[in-house]
């Protein structure tokens, strides 16, 4: 019954005309940016800490609405693509496809590194449509009853198979997939849970980062190709990404040779996307660990605590900041 209700909901969202989807997106964004919730609280904290936009400012409030609106529209487009593949237009696809197909033609498996930006389900569809060999996407087991079956249905509609990351055999399954010449797709911008990740600089702060792509690349000799699809207009998305690491090029002096170095390249790539399209990233993840627990109903306390934490974070990461006189440009590699 749950599965049937979920599929009905997806079908209803997919059937929304553009004008109604945009009106609902605006209404939902205004409500989500005002009503107290865990999502809004985490977004406020992350935006204050990373973008230095305190929650009480008009810039921050406008940004929250932009994020929630972007998420709703991407959700509708994802549902459209699930029900009717090809419903959205994909731009700037050819050069990325050429890169993937060159790797496939040489008989090499590929590790695709994605992020929660734009529509990651449409990203999965782009990967599957590009590759001749099967693609397996890693996924965390949802806590909601019936959600796992729903996710498997969505991924299957997009042309992907699912590997559940909670299984004890996950490392063996990942290696087996790559050794068969098949591909892996991972969304890697969430905080590692249950496993220790590589420590990297991400959005100007030190953080534990998912180390799976780097580890698998080193063990199986698979190149890492980044990919995301960002919304550019009504039912229009642009493919961004490229070759992040190729083990066949490690002989060069500049090439990374360790897991943390490769993970840093992945983090830098995703950071570039976020700085170019900040309103399309999922800011309400508990990505960083905080030393305070503000009351979500006390806005003043929350704003005071986030400002204090931001100052503390600046002090902790001062050694990693650019030297005096160096200008950091948003959207460029540092």
Alpha-carbon gap, residue 176 to 182, rounded angstroms: 9
Alpha-carbon gap, residue 44 to 110, rounded angstroms: 36
What share of the chain in percent tops pLDDT 70? Answer: 82
Tokens (6 digits) for 104? 């496939």
Beta partners for residue 323, in sequence order: none
pLDDT given at position 318: 45
Contact by Cβ (8 Å): 213, 188? yes
- Give how far Cα 154 sits from Cα of 1, 108, 169, 217, 300, Å: 17, 27, 23, 27, 41
DSSP letters along 145-179, please? Answer: TTHHHHHHHHHHHTT-EEEETTSTTHHHHHHHHHH
What is the pairing mode between strands 161-164 and 135-139? parallel
Q: Which is nearest to 57 in space by CA: 238, 317, 307, 321?
A: 307
74's enclosing H/E stretch is helix 58-83
Alpha-carbon gap, residue 223 to 333, rounded angstroms: 20
Residue with tokens 């205004």: 30
pLDDT by residue (tens digit) across 178-188?
999 999 999 99
Tokens (6 digits) for 97? 């496809």
pLDDT given at position 135: 97
Contacts of 88 (CB under 8 A, 6+ apart): 77, 80, 81, 122, 235, 236, 237
The domain locations on the chain are 2-82+284-320, 87-279
pLDDT given at position 119: 98
pLDDT given at position 231: 98
Angle CA 118–121–122, to nearest 5:
70
pLDDT given at position 40: 96
pLDDT by residue (tens digit) across 294-303?
444 445 444 4
What is the pairing mode between strands 228-233 and 236-240? antiparallel
Tokens (6 digits) for 276? 């170019």
- Low-confidence residues in the chain, pLDDT < 70: 1-2, 193-196, 250-256, 289-334
Contacts of 75 (CB under 8 A, 6+ apart): 13
């Amino acid at each position: 019954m749950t599965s049937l209700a979920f599929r009905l909901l997806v079908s209803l969202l997919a059937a929304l005309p553009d004008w109604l989807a945009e009106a609902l997106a605006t209404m939902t964004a205004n409500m989500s940016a005002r009503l107290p919730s865990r999502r809004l609280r985490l977004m406020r904290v992350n935006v204050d800490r990373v973008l230095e936009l305190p929650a009480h400012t008009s810039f921050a409030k406008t940004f929250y609405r932009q994020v929630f609106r972007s998420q709703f529209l991407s959700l509708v487009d994802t549902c459209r693509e699930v029900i009717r593949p090809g419903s959205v237009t994909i731009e700037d696809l050819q050069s990325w496809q050429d890169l993937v197909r060159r790797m496939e033609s040489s008989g090499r498996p590929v590790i695709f590194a994605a992020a929660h930006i734009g529509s990651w389900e449409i990203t999965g569809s782009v990967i599957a449509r590009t590759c001749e060999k099967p693609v397996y996407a890693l996924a965390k087991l949802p806590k909601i009853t019936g959600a796992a079956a729903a996710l498997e249905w969505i991924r299957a509609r997009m042309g992907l198979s699912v590997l559940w990351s909670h299984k004890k055999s996950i490392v063996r399954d990942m290696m087996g997939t790559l050794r068969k010449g098949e591909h892996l797709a991972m969304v890697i911008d969430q905080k590692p849970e249950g496993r220790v990740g590589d420590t990297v600089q991400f959005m100007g702060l030190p953080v534990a980062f998912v180390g799976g792509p780097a580890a698998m690349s080193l063990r199986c000799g698979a190149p890492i190709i980044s990919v995301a699809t960002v919304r550019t207009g009504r039912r229009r998305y642009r493919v961004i990404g490229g070759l992040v690491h190729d083990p066949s090029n490690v002989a060069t002096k500049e090439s990374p040779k360790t897991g943390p170095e490769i993970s840093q390249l992945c983090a830098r790539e995703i950071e570039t996307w976020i700085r170019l399209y900040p309103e399309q990233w999922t800011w309400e993840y508990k990505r960083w660990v905080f030393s305070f627990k503000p009351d979500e109903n006390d806005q003043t306390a929350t704003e005071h605590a986030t400002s204090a934490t931001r100052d503390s974070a600046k002090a902790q990461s001062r050694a990693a900041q650019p030297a005096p006189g160096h200008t950091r440009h948003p959207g460029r590699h540092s």
